[in-house]
Structure 1
Amino acid sequence: MVGPLDRKLLRDLWRMKGQALAIAVVMALGVTMQVMMSGLVSSLDETRRGYYERYRLADVIAPVTRAPEQVLHALAALEGVGAVEGRIGGAALIDLPDRDVPLQAQALSLPYDDAPALNAIRIEAGRLFERGRPDEVVVLDSFAAAHGLRPGDTLAATTNGARRSFRIVGLARSPEFLYSAAPGEMVPDDSRFGVLWLSPAAMAAAFDMDGAFSEALIGLGRGANEQLVLDAVDRVLEPYGGIGAYGREDMFSNRFVSEEIDGLRESARAVPPMFMAVAAFLLNIVIARMVQAEREEIGLLKAFGYRSAEIGVHYLKLVLAIALAGALLGCLAGVAAGRGMVQLYLAFFKFPFLVFRLEPAAFATGIGVSVLAATAGGAIVLRRIFALQPAEAMRPPAPADYASAGRWRGLTRWLDQPTRMVLRRFSRTPFRMAGAVLGITCGMALSVGMLTIHAGFSQAVALSFDVIDRSEASVTFTSAVSDKALHELARIPGVERVEGRRDVAVILRNGRQSHRGSITGLPAAPELNRALTPALAPIPMRSEGLVLSGALAAKLKLEVGQTLTVEVREGARPVLTLPVAAVADSVLGAPAYMAMDGLNRALGEPGRVSAAALRLDEARAPEIYAWLKGLPTVAGVSLKHEARDAFVTVMNQGAGWTRFIMSGMAFVITFGIIYNAARIALAERARDLASLRVIGFSRAEAAYVLLGELGLVTLLALPLGAVLGAGFAQVLAAAYSSELYTIPVVFLPTTFGSAALVVIAGAAISGLLVKRDVDRADLVAALKTRD
């Protein structure tokens, strides 16, 4: 049976339906992000695990120069090893007719029956190659899609110095190559790096590997210790030129996917709570002011005999109805948004399947925060009002002490009466106005934070390809060559400047801490490819030791002056002990730098380079690329504009793509905050505005009293929101940064100006909506006391 208080509850909800809806929408947006992002992280994690398991991705890969197949039995006998398979791998260059430069690729052998014990592939189109057809090849489908290749097309590729023509018979996906990048590059790009699967016989003939293998794929047994297995595998393969086994965490594709998922996880931890905190704060203010406005009704209810507990439950139902409606709406919207984003992530992560998985904890968090915020807002005010006697509660609150109002008389005597009313409102209810200012401050802060992050992403691209990399192209050699190659490149007509670089694959160790990566050797004063701090200061190269990025130093737990072990994974594979000469924050990744001369000297290989940056005459660039195609020592040529496009694509997809969604939600929440502030002010001053109309004020003058208050509150919130937004931006930048790139926090005047325009536009629209209600107000009804 519906009691009187429940009927009053329904009437109150209908009377304040606009304001209740605005509050519910603000809460819903915070919950939507929580449910959507938590569900996406859970879904991606589960999909990755299932994909790896179904196609048997190896736990360990052990490259070797050349080992006989009998060694596989020795590897299989090692403790902790569950499965072993050998394969042949090698570099390849793909020559496409529509490309000026050759494209790098990796060629791999695959059993004829497409049922390897480890690292199986998924045929997406066509079929696997057949026995006795060494010219048939299966191509990575993402590379084929980037160039419009299909089964039946021909492909020219150079393997081990020999150019051959292949016929594409199939397109495939592999969990090993969810992402692929050319050697020496951090950013994956499907259009510039491909994978070719050939028959064992074709690969053995191409790379002189008959009866041998160049990579051992290893699956770990249950409960195996990965590090012990890695050490044992290295001991077995060392006589055959093993260059160091590594686990999944160091496989490029898995590492990149993990970075993206971890980035999304960090965003899910940092961003939705901020939005929910703002929404909860707004709800707290709204509920507190709404209950305060019901003071007289509470007194009347107590006079009719209702106990404080009954009245408290009534108002608790009111706030819970709004909060739960917002939370449930957010949960439903979060599920819908998550399912919609699955298709985007399916394409981005290249999973063959992806099902959105609901995360129960996200629902509990969203609903819990909404309920707690709603109840907290009303509890404090209700407690104070319930302490009043009915007769006292039915009276309007005692006016504040206005003895100090005379101080402002000299400042306000030149103002008209409506403007003085606006200013008196601030002096008489300072805490109430402060709450309104803080609410809009939070909205401004959200807008500043998101716009700053957008500027940071743009700045990261500009720094990477306009400030750090000032070349037009980069040439990678098949191995470290004499620096005389730089002079040969410089003599090519159209090459205006050449700058060498030495990249050395290493494992950096400090006790139990390790990092698989590379050391980049740069000239003492590089011009084309520079190492810079986030403040754009050059990072001085040291000949006597390494310069580590701050992120890498923290990972290895190293400080300046300490030494670390450097296991070189190429050439003679020496083990070096080098000091940490400096630690400097970098813009890109987690690099380790050293002066090129010092690095070559430490390796015992003076005068060596592994890559070169080129500045070109654009008019002669095609001739230069054609000449580079014919050089046997060139492993690949990278064009900066293509690398830039790939970098932008990576940053605008995956975890980085969520910033666009969050920006839209931030602007909606900002508008919701401002609109709620305007609706609350209208609810509190409806009788006052009606009184002004009765005593002769025009509609415009009455509306000015209300809108002037909103305008002044908004103007006061702008600078405060800019300061709070700067703090939000720091949190967001840390959440979006990864080992691949660092998002700088860029405070631009245009950012604050744009955020201010968002807030001002929200205030203007809210003001127009509220003014319409003021103009339509029934003066007689507004002057009556509500039942």
Structure 2
Amino acid sequence: MTRALALMRFIGDVMRALDQKLLRDLWRIKGQAGAIALVVAVGVLLLVMMSGMISSLEETRTTYYERYRLADVFAPVTRAPKKMLDRLAEIPGVDAVEGRIQGGALVDMAGQDLPVRAQVVSLPEWREPRLNGVYLAEGQMPQAGRNDEVLILRSFAKAHDLALGDRLAATMHGNRRDFRVVGIAQAPEFLFNVPAGEFVPDDNRFAVLWMNEEALEAAFDLKGAFNEALLSLERGAQVEPVLTAVDALLARYGGLGAYGVGDQMSNRFLSEEIKGLNATAKAVPPIFMGVAAFLLYIVISRMVQAEREQIGLIKAFGYTDVEVALHYVKLVIVIALTGALLGCLGGVWSGRLLAGVYQSLYHFPFLVFRVEPSSFAAGILVSVLAAVVGGASVLRRVFALTPAVAMRPPAPADFSRSGAISDSLKRWLDQPSRMVLRRVMRNPGRVFGAVIGIAAGMGLSSAQLSVMSGFNDVLDKTYGVVDRSDVAVTFFEQMPEKTAFDLAHLPGVIEVEPTRAVSAVLRHGPEYYRGGITGLVPGAKLSRALDKDGADIEMPTRGIVLAKALADILNVQPGGTITVEVLEGRRPVLELHVARIADTLLGAPAYMQLEALNTAMNEPGRISGAFLRVDAEAYPALFAALKDVPKVAGVTRKDDARAAMKKLMDAGAGTMRFVMAAIAGIITFGIVYNSARISFGEQSRDLASLRVMGFSQGEASFILLGELALVVILAIPVGVLIGYGLSFLVAAGFSTDLYQIPTEFKADAYGVAGAAVVLAAVISGWLVKREIGRVDLVATLKTRE
């Protein structure tokens, strides 16, 4: 027992001595350690923030959907008697059924020329709805028998500063009605508010109104009927058989195709957002951990080389290889843990800020950012493992050093076969410049590592800047090249082609271009996509179909043109055939030849020539909307005239649509591109600063010796910083290549069914990233240059080398 206690006391004394050395080492390399810890912190911050945001969104969505009973199946229909609800409830797997009335309206806002598109939804008068309930944020539910009372969507109320008691005028089914706002509400089916026929949300231009069922029965002439059935399923029930059964029952009543909650627009956008965050969380943090491991390898390698004599002396005093190696492992772990803890705190802080962005974008009534303990554990564990891996390969040198060898100065490197400078260069270069060039030529491996590290940071920065520029290109091309109209008009139903001529006679209209949009499910084998087909007139000028290069997509007289994104989803090639299940009118099923596949910018569209689409539908001369070129001074008169057209479902001004699109791109996951650009700048500085510090640590004795030999401090600084400058010059073109490659990956990550981000060489993006690297080098050089004046010349003169 006495021997054991003595051994434990000895081990404690040993560890205390090494721990004191550990603290001194950390203070000595505090700049490098801080930069590496910052890189680790950024990786952990992203991991914690994104994983927390993913879990928060998923849990909030699940809770919100369950609490307010979002339906599992939506079944729109033209008109079906309420007795059919009992038949729907008998379908195997169905748990509950609710019938309701929903339709379109135009809301006339005081002081606003442009009518606001709205969706009106019925509420049962004497009970809570079984499915698709509403969250009442303010006020009360409409009273039974009060057909002039409405609830309005909270986001629309905030956008127009509406309050309880305010009056609204709306045109529904050709009739103008006045309403009083008695409540402000939110609902899980309207997290992402996109009006029918559009793909960009805009709280200013889209409203949701809830009112008593009796009021909507009268407004839409649906007494004793419904035009949408909602179904919830039993646990474990399969959706597809239920959809098939629902379509079969409602077909005779003008069923428009039942679909599951996965295809519900609001839920679909949210699911894509979570999917994108998940992919980013898996791909990005490992990049930062890899960079941190590389930097730690360089730093620990230099420390072991510089402390050869100390290692030999420590071993001579009886310390084992394991104890000495553990000392350096602890150094690595302390740096990694410091960065990980900073990252965890930063991840929680930034996650809470991001939660506010998502709550505003998706209109959750509540969204609490919460991180699972496993995310913290994963961030800390991954950072420590990456750090240990980065330093572990160096520890072999610690084991290999015996006291006798370690306490002798290392043998000078043999540069007899490398680093030779031609006589012609010698004539042009002075002595300090030759020393810089010779050092670079004699250490190609170390220089290559520094070049790749700096280039990687620059590449990440330039890729993010390219994507940011790509977002702006999408806006410019979509609303400047693709869409050349001023105003888009849509109708509640398909109209005769002569309606376009009627629009041409409205005030201020210069040119009219009709179009037709048909909702459909496109199938090819087991793959399907719920979207639609757009019919364009030959030689369309106001709304064009363009490929990613800006060239017009030629519309064939027969067949369909698919966007590449859509063709990939359907797994179809040019010349193939797809099945199109039309979800309106007589609901025909079409077999269409794929005439062409085009790489488009916006969404996953399918195009046909308007006449070819009408022929395939066996409905000649039909349109669903029109694009107008308008005299800007005539906007008020035009909008006033359109309000009086009963069949007009919506009017969209291009400038408003552009602003909404920009807001969408800048929100949600689009916010991440700004975050990633800032983080890329941080990592670039960390790599450049570490490269400068490592170079100084390796050359400090050489620089001191040069000072003793008579070199000025400026000449010594030039030798040190000249190498850094040369490394940066070599790194910039490599960073351009890396950035160009990364831009494809980043653009693919941010692209969705809604829009594709183009990947082009952006000279300004790479110029800014290169300038950031140069600025980081200048700042790092200035910080390191101060250390040159602090080199102990007396200690250098006593060195045995």
Query: What band does the TM-score fall into relative to the shorter chain?
Result: over 0.9
**1:62-95 residue CA offsets vs partner (Å, 9 max, x unmatched):** 1111111111111111101000011111111101
SS of 1:21's equivalent in the other structure is: helix
Equivalent position of 2:110 in the other structure: 97
Change (3 A) 1:229 1:540: same
Equivalent position of 2:307 in the other structure: 294
2:449 equivalent to 1:426: no
2:367 equivalent to 1:357: no
Equivalent AA in structure 2 for residue 517 of structure 1: G
Q: Structure 2: 5+ residue runs without aligned partners?
A: 1-11
Among 758, 777, 781, the alignment partner of 1:763 is 777
The answer as to whether partners of 1:181 and 1:192 remain within 8 angstroms in 2 is no
2:579 equivalent to 1:533: no
2:675 equivalent to 1:658: no
2:453 equivalent to 1:439: yes
Equivalent position of 2:39 in the other structure: 26
Equivalent position of 1:208 in the other structure: 221
TM-score (norm 1): 0.97
**1:196-225 residue CA offsets vs partner (Å, 9 max, x unmatched):** 111111111111222111111111111111
Among 638, 641, 653, the alignment partner of 2:655 is 641
Equivalent AA in structure 1 for residue 548 of structure 2: P
- Per-residue deviation at 1:28? 0.9
Among 493, 502, 505, the alignment partner of 1:491 is 505
Q: 2 CA distance for matches of 1:77 and 1:456?
A: 52
Equivalent position of 1:449 in the other structure: 463
The answer as to whether partners of 2:324 and 2:398 remain within 8 angstroms in 1 is no
Deviates more, 1:336-345 or 1:174-183: 336-345
Alignment of 1:155-554 (within 5 A): 155-384=168-397, 386-393=399-406, 394-554=408-568
**1:305-364 residue CA offsets vs partner (Å, 9 max, x unmatched):** 433322222211111221222122212221222123222222122111112222445434
Q: 2 CA distance for matches of 1:473 and 1:436?
A: 55
Change (3 A) 1:365 1:717: farther
SS of 1:609's equivalent in the other structure is: strand
Q: 2 CA distance for matches of 1:7 and 1:47?
A: 49
The answer as to whether partners of 2:70 and 2:188 remain within 8 angstroms in 1 is yes
Change (3 A) 1:665 1:113: farther
- Per-residue deviation at 1:514? 1.9
2:712 equivalent to 1:712: no
SS of 1:413's equivalent in the other structure is: helix
2:177 equivalent to 1:134: no
Alignment of 1:21-60 (within 5 A): 21-60=34-73
Q: 1 CA distance for matches of 2:666 and 2:411?
A: 54
The answer as to whether partners of 2:543 and 2:627 remain within 8 angstroms in 1 is yes
**1:391-416 residue CA offsets vs partner (Å, 9 max, x unmatched):** 33332243232345444332033322
Equivalent AA in structure 2 for residue 578 of structure 1: L
SS of 2:715's equivalent in the other structure is: helix
**1:1-21 residue CA offsets vs partner (Å, 9 max, x unmatched):** 352322222221121122111
SS of 2:284's equivalent in the other structure is: helix
Change (3 A) 1:68 1:679: same
The answer as to whether partners of 1:296 and 1:396 remain within 8 angstroms in 2 is no
The answer as to whether partners of 1:61 and 1:217 remain within 8 angstroms in 2 is yes
Equivalent position of 1:566 in the other structure: 580
SS of 2:592's equivalent in the other structure is: strand
SS of 1:632's equivalent in the other structure is: coil
- Per-residue deviation at 1:385? 5.4
TM-score (norm 2): 0.95
Q: 1 CA distance for matches of 2:717 and 2:768?
A: 27
- Per-residue deviation at 1:379? 2.8
- Per-residue deviation at 1:147? 1.0
Q: 2 CA distance for matches of 1:9 and 1:784?
A: 25
The answer as to whether partners of 2:46 and 2:285 remain within 8 angstroms in 1 is yes
The answer as to whether partners of 1:58 and 1:119 remain within 8 angstroms in 2 is yes
Alignment of 1:580-595 (within 5 A): 580-595=594-609
Equivalent position of 1:143 in the other structure: 156
- Per-residue deviation at 1:753? 0.7
The answer as to whether partners of 2:293 and 2:389 remain within 8 angstroms in 1 is no
SS of 2:285's equivalent in the other structure is: helix
SS of 2:241's equivalent in the other structure is: helix
Equivalent position of 2:88 in the other structure: 75
SS of 2:422's equivalent in the other structure is: helix
Deviates more, 1:8-17 or 1:43-52: 8-17
The answer as to whether partners of 2:359 and 2:365 remain within 8 angstroms in 1 is yes
**1:427-458 residue CA offsets vs partner (Å, 9 max, x unmatched):** 22221122221221111112111111111111
The answer as to whether partners of 1:267 and 1:736 remain within 8 angstroms in 2 is no
Identity %: 55
Change (3 A) 1:306 1:108: same
Change (3 A) 1:705 1:108: same
Equivalent AA in structure 1 for residue 360 of structure 2: A
- Per-residue deviation at 1:671? 0.7
SS of 2:75's equivalent in the other structure is: strand
- Per-residue deviation at 1:240? 1.5
Q: 2 CA distance for matches of 1:447 and 1:114?
A: 56
Equivalent AA in structure 2 for residue 531 of structure 1: A
**1:455-497 residue CA offsets vs partner (Å, 9 max, x unmatched):** 1111111121111111111011221112212222233453222
Q: 2 CA distance for matches of 1:618 and 1:782?
A: 79
Equivalent AA in structure 2 for residue 763 of structure 1: A
- Per-residue deviation at 1:785? 5.9
- Per-residue deviation at 1:783? 5.3
Equivalent AA in structure 1 for residue 135 of structure 2: R
**1:490-535 residue CA offsets vs partner (Å, 9 max, x unmatched):** 3345322211111001111223322211111112222111112222
Q: 2 CA distance for matches of 1:288 and 1:115?
A: 70
SS of 2:597's equivalent in the other structure is: strand
The answer as to whether partners of 1:138 and 1:172 remain within 8 angstroms in 2 is yes
Change (3 A) 1:700 1:479: same
Q: 1 CA distance for matches of 2:428 and 2:526?
A: 75
Equivalent position of 1:686 in the other structure: 700
Equivalent AA in structure 1 for residue 572 of structure 2: L
Deviates more, 1:113-122 or 1:760-769: 113-122
